[in-house]
Amino acid sequence: MKKIITVFCILLLTGGFFFAQTTDEPATTDESVTVSPETETETAPAENTPEQEVVPEDNTDTEASQEPSDFQEDFVYKMNQKGDQFINISLRLNVPLKPAPTQLYVGGAGTIGYTRFINSVFALGGDISFAYSTTVGKNVFTYVPILFKVMYQPTIHQFEFPLTLGLGFAFENYNTDIYFGFVAKPEVGAFYRFSPSWSFGLSTGITLMPQVAKQDFYMGVIFDTALTVRYHF
């Protein structure tokens, strides 16, 4: 009887041990076989993964914006530049030098003109005037000069100093006599630039009007002073 009990206990222990082993093995097998997608990605062979070139970040713009600029652009304000234009209107006081004031009295004139700058100091333009003077005989001498002008104008702060040479022609009339002839006029002036659009100033010039009648040559010389307003655009 003791032998039977002993054999039964041995079989019971052996069966329990075998059953315990059988129960543990599937868990171990599942854990080793089950692989998460993350694990597969991490453990994938390096040779099957294409190499990606690492491009360094371009921090040039960031660094440039953070670091102070080594240079700065200098903006120089010029009162006049290429393409600037102005229209001028003048009232003139004419003083005849030849013929003498004893023959031709002081007269006046009105002028309107246009000028365009080809750079900051040189400009091209033209104007037309209507001028008159009275004579000792109570007659009126009139002339209409049409001039093409070249101007050089330096500036100091808000002051402008135009130096102008005008060449052209004039229609001259005295009583019933009409003459069409050459005219030249050098002129200097000083203007104050009141605003970007307006300037005011004074100018003086000498109008030279040569006349050739038959075989006689005569030169008319008239000095003038003008009050001028200019509109810039």
Residue 180: give its domain's CATH number: 2.40.160.20
Contacts of 83 (CB under 8 A, 6+ apart): 116, 117
Alpha-carbon span 86 to 194, nearest angstrom? 14
| Pairing relationship of beta strands 163-174 and 140-152 according to DSSP bridges | antiparallel
Specify if 68 maps to a domain: no
Alpha-carbon span 72 to 88, nearest angstrom? 38
pLDDT of residue 215: 74
Per-residue pLDDT of the chain (233 residues; tens, 9 = 90+): 555 556 555 665 555 555 555 444 444 444 444 444 444 444 444 454 445 555 555 555 545 445 555 555 555 567 889 999 999 999 999 999 988 877 889 999 999 999 999 999 999 999 999 999 998 888 999 999 999 999 999 999 999 999 999 999 999 998 888 899 999 999 999 999 999 999 999 999 999 999 887 778 889 999 999 999 999 99
pLDDT of residue 29: 43
How many domains are there within the chain?
2
pLDDT of residue 180: 92
| Residue 24 shares a structural domain with residue 139 | no
What DSSP state is assigned to residue 233?
-
The DSSP result for 66-77, as a single string, is: HSPPS--PPP--
| Residue 122 shares a structural domain with residue 9 | no
Q: Containing domain of residue 118, as a range?
A: 85-232
Specify if 151 maps to a domain: yes
pLDDT of residue 216: 81
Specify if 60 maps to a domain: no
Backbone phi and psi for residue 75, each to the nearest 5 degrees, phi listed first: -100, 115
Angstrom distances, CA of residue 168 to CA of 33, 85, 133, 161, 163 = 108, 21, 20, 23, 17
| Residue 103 shares a structural domain with residue 9 | no
| Residue 28 shares a structural domain with residue 131 | no
Specify if 49 maps to a domain: no
| Residue 206 shares a structural domain with residue 136 | yes
Specify if 51 maps to a domain: no
Closest CA to 123 of 62, 156, 81: 81
pLDDT of residue 27: 44
pLDDT of residue 103: 85
pLDDT of residue 230: 97
Specify if 45 maps to a domain: no
Alpha-carbon span 26 to 24, nearest angstrom? 6
| Residue 13 shares a structural domain with residue 110 | no
| Residue 15 shares a structural domain with residue 102 | no
Specify if 78 maps to a domain: no
pLDDT of residue 99: 85
Q: Does the bond joining 37 to the residue before it have cis omega, within 30 degrees of 0?
A: no
